[in-house]
């Protein structure tokens, strides 16, 4: 494991990798993560579905995050990755072969 800014430094004791960037706002430093800055990205992997079913799925997943995390719907992203039956296997067999 690499040493971080000397084992006796205050930054090292707090586990900071780039302490100067946090203190001074140095260019390239990421802003502190707060609840207002988090954006849930939900990825759903599934077989192909009708667009109406996907619309309902996206709406319900978004509603679940809005209700449970108390965030605006605009903060929620839902990505649907559709996998064709000939590219997905279950129990040692392609789902296309079932």
- Report which of residues 21 and 48 the model is more confident about: 48
Which distant-in-sequence residues (6+ apart) come within 8 Å of 9 by Cβ? 19
Using 50, 70 and 90 to split pLDDT, how confident is the model at 5?
very low
Q: Please give the pLDDT value at position 53.
A: 98
Domains detected in the chain: 1-32 (no CATH), 33-97 (3.30.429.10)
pLDDT digits (tens, 9 = 90+) for 26-81: 455 555 555 565 789 999 999 999 999 999 999 999 999 999 999 999 999 999 99
Rounded to whole angstroms, the Cα distance separating 74 from 90 reads: 35
């Amino acid at each position: 494991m690499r040493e971080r800014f000397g084992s006796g430094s205050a930054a090292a004791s707090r586990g900071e990798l780039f302490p100067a960037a946090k203190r001074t706002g140095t260019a390239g430093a990421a802003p502190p993560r707060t609840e207002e800055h988090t954006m849930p990205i939900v990825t759903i992997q599934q077989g192909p579905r009708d667009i109406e079913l996907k619309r309902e799925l996206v709406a319900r997943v978004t509603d679940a995050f809005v209700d449970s995390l108390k965030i605006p719907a605009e903060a929620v992203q839902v990505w649907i990755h559709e996998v064709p039956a000939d590219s997905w296997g279950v129990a040692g067999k392609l789902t296309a072969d079932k």
